Structure 1
Amino acid sequence: MSCSACTLHTPNGDRIRKARHRKITHEQLHLRAGMSRDVLHKFEAGSHDPPLYALPRIARVLDVPITDLVG
């Protein structure tokens, strides 16, 4: 599998951030999704990929399909 194929299924911090900016604050997302501010910031900054269990939480709080959060 090539690297470009891997990125098709990797959560994209920009996508999470853009979806959040349309709906709620960083503070609201971290509280509603049950994760720390620092961890959420790392996801949005792209320095860490969210674990699989976090994606449904983020998508549910943002009211978007998980597919909107991955590239």
Structure 2
Amino acid sequence: MTKPALHTQFEGIAALRAALAQREVSAVDLAQSALAAAEAASELNSFLHIDAELTLAQARAADAA
């Protein structure tokens, strides 16, 4: 069974932001979840380009800040 996208486990962006601020969830975990969701829906052609390496690098930097 596929794990639900991490961002869908919160009641909204404010709750997700609070979880990030309180380090209940990491930016890397959220980025990986979003990348997986985008990949799972790739047949929709929703994105012209996804730079996973840059996304994860920025998430690691956010977690380190």
| Structure number with higher relative contact order (C-alpha < 8 Å, ≥ 6 residues apart) | 1
- Structure with larger Rg: 2
TM-score if structure 1 supplies the norm length?
A: 0.30
TM-score if structure 2 supplies the norm length?
A: 0.31
